[in-house]
């Protein structure tokens, strides 16, 4: 790798990319350019912890695990990029030449057309500055808060507002909250959860007339209702922060289009990580998508750094199993995979009541996603299963795509002959037996009883995106209570429980 790598974007993706570059031994110059005046911080903590005062902005700073030895350019917004000259342009005509570039500029809160943004009581919620402004707004009024939108941010905001004892109204266009999750009952349950905690939820609604007044804002809805609020937060999604790349030659289409290895299409020395990246996650299919969840920024930053150092030829595709969570009124909702791709759902575990339920999301006989309600142990177990299944499905799909070429699994560089038989790994160094007709058939698992993972399946040579312990313990039963050298001192944190109040 060359002399200088520049990271554009000082959020989690940029920070973790920088760390990984140093971890891997990159000894050249590292420059991090960030438009905000802050060190990288924890965005999920902006809503509940910051608004309720549990954390202050400086508590949200991300811990740095490897010394970056970098030049940090805060308060600096990149103006444009000239990839063929390998030059990044900063304000005032400043130019920085790079040998490698990591783009991690993330996303911005989407504007709501018609909303009076000049009014100090109207906010978006994306940055620390936004969150502090909302806090100030809340302190200046006793009237309620109106939240426009029906996604994760809207729900978390409503929960934070209610936990402060203030009135909250959600105004949303759609008919159900969190609508990217297929299935009606998910949205209905979330809706019921909010109403049970005193949130007024108005669906199928948008603001037709905004009427700012001295003590608040009156919103005249299409439904005929009028909502009055002392503070309004627009939570209508986010748009990738890529307008600075217009004219650069990079392909911008709801984010920066990338290949499977995080490399920007058309540039071998540029990788993209986080909310701005639109890339094909080969774990599921070849359609490029953006993943807006926090953990993806962390993981993709590391993978992008690895792949920038490896070069496009030897880079491994970034094929994460996405994981996400949201907490609404104390209820922890967790997800894994891509439920949005599913055609069907299947109940994997849990009683009839909502708590402890894990729902599987299935398409074409394959499990592609999970959602769990307040059941981290269940999610832990099923996420491991989902990862195993999707890994296998991915490898078989990739093998089938190039049947004639001597095959190498692109994710691990192991001979693909190893995938299609049940013998232990040692056997394939000699002549592996030809796959039998049994293995050629697409497995159609019956849920409730997932098919056993094929034994002898070689572990990934180097996990694409995180470290696996060599022999992960099975659940609960055989967790070792003593280690060979270091006697354990276990700290026990009592569980926290959540239960839905009985319905009226």
CB of 483 to another protein, least distance (A): 7
Binding map of another protein across residues 259-298, x = CB under 8 A, - = no contact: -----------------------------------xx--x
3-class state of residue 216 by DSSP: strand
Residue 76 found at the interface with another protein (CB under 8 A): no
Q: Which residues contact 300 (CB under 8 A, 6 or more apart)?
A: 13, 262, 273, 274, 277, 291, 318, 320, 465
Name the minimum Å distance from CB 315 to another protein: 20
Binding segment for another protein (CB under 8 A), chosen from 89-97, 136-144, 153-161, 378-386, is 378-386
Smallest distance from another protein to CB 427, Å: 29
Q: Is 377 in the site for another protein (CB under 8 A)?
A: yes
Determine, following the binding rule CB under 8 A, whether residue 384 of this chain makes contact with another protein. Answer: yes
- Which residue, 118 or 483, has its beta carbon nearer to another protein? 483
Residue with smaller CB distance to another protein, 144 or 155:
155
Structure tokens at 357: 């339920």
316 conformational bin, left if phi > 0, alpha if psi -120 to 50, beta if neither: beta
Of 364 and 473, the one with the shorter C-beta distance to another protein is: 473
Q: Which two tokens stand for residue 315?
A: 């880079």
Alpha-carbon torsion (22, 295, 387, 483), positive or negative? positive
Among 351, 469, 501, 502, binds another protein (CB under 8 A): 469
Stretch that binds another protein, among 111-119, 194-202, 233-241, 321-329 (CB under 8 A): 321-329
What is the closest distance, in whole angstroms, from the C-beta atom of residue 495 to another protein in the complex?
Answer: 4
Q: Where are the alpha helices (DSSP H) in 122-239?
A: 128-139, 152-163, 184-196
What is the spatial distance between Cα 10 and Cα 104, in angstroms, rounded to a whole number?
Answer: 7
Neighbours of 284 (CB within 10 A): 22
C-alpha triplet 92, 98, 102: angle, nearest 5°: 95
DSSP of 306-330: HHHHH-TTTPPP-----EEEEEETT
The dihedral through the CA atoms of 381, 322, 374, 353 has a sign that is negative
128 interacts with another protein by CB under 8 A: no
**Among residues 57, 183, 237, 376, the one that binds another protein under rule CB under 8 A:** 376
| Contact call for residue 327 and another protein (CB under 8 A) | yes
Q: Are strands 122-124 and 231-234 parallel, antiparallel or unpaired?
A: parallel
Crossing angle between the packed helical segments 12-23 and 294-310, to the nearest 10 degrees? 40
Site string for another protein, 132-171 (x = CB under 8 A): ----------------------------------------
Residue from the set 165, 444, 491, 501 that interacts with another protein by CB under 8 A = 491
Give least dist CB 15 to another protein, A: 9
Task: Summarize as ranges the residues that interact with another protein (CB under 8 A).
Answer: 16, 42, 44-45, 49, 54-55, 59-60, 62-63, 65, 294-295, 298-299, 323, 325, 327, 332, 334, 375-377, 379-380, 383-384, 466-467, 469, 472-473, 476, 479, 483, 485-486, 488-497
């Amino acid at each position: 790798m060359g002399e200088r790598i520049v990271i554009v974007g000082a959020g989690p993706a940029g920070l973790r990319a920088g760390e990984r570059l140093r971890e891997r031994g990159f000894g050249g110059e590292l420059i991090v350019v960030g438009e905000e005046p802050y060190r990288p911080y924890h965005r999920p903590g902006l809503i509940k912890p910051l608004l309720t005062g549990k954390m202050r902005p400086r508590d949200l700073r991300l811990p740095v695990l490897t010394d970056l030895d970098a030049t940090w350019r805060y308060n600096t917004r990149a103006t444009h990029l000239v990839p063929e000259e390998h030059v990044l342009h900063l304000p005032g005509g400043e130019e920085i030449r790079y040998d490698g570039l990591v783009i991690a500029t993330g996303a911005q809160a989407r504007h709501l057309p018609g909303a009076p943004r000049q009014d100090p009581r109207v906010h978006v919620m994306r940055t620390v500055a936004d969150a502090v402004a909302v806090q100030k707004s809340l302190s200046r009024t006793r009237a309620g808060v109106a939240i426009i939108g029906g996604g994760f941010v809207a729900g978390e905001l409503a929960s934070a507002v209610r936990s402060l004892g203030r009135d909250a109204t959600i105004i949303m266009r759609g008919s159900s909250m969190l609508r990217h999750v297929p299935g009606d009952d998910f949205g209905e349950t979330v809706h019921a959860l909010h109403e049970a905690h005193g949130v007024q939820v108005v669906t199928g609604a948008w603001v037709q007339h905004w009427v700012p007044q001295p003590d608040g804002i009156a919103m005249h809805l299409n439904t005929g209702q009028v909502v009055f609020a002392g503070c309004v937060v627009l939570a209508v999604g986010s748009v990738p922060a890529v307008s600075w790349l217009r004219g650069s030659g990079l392909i911008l289409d709801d984010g920066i289009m990338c290949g499977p290895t995080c490399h920007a299409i058309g540039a071998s020395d540029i990788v993209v990580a986080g909310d701005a990246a639109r890339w094909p996650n080969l774990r599921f299919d070849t359609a490029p998508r953006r993943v807006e969840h926090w953990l993806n920024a962390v993981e993709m930053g590391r993978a992008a750094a690895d792949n920038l150092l490896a070069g496009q030829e030897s880079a491994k595709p970034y094929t994460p199993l996405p994981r996400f969570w949201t907490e609404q009124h104390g209820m922890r909702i967790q997800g894994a995979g891509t439920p949005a791709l599913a055609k069907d759902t299947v109940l994997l575990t849990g009683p009839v009541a909502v708590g402890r339920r894990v729902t599987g999301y299935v398409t074409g006989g394959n499990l592609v996603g999970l959602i769990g309600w307040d059941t981290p142990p269940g999610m832990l177990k099923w996420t491991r299963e989902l990862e195993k299944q999707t890994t296998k499905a991915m490898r078989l799909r990739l093998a089938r795509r190039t049947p004639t070429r001597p095959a190498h699994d692109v994710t691990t560089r192991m001979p693909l002959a190893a995938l299609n038989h049940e013998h232990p790994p040692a056997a394939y160094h000699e002549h592996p037996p030809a796959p039998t007709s049994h293995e050629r058939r697409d497995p159609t698992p019956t849920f409730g009883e997932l098919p056993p993972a094929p034994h002898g399946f070689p572990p990934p040579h180097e996990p694409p995106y995180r470290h696996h312990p060599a022999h992960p313990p099975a659940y609960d039963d055989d967790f070792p209570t003593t280690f060979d050298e270091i006697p354990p001192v276990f700290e026990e944190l009592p569980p926290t429980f959540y239960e839905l109040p009985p319905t009226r």
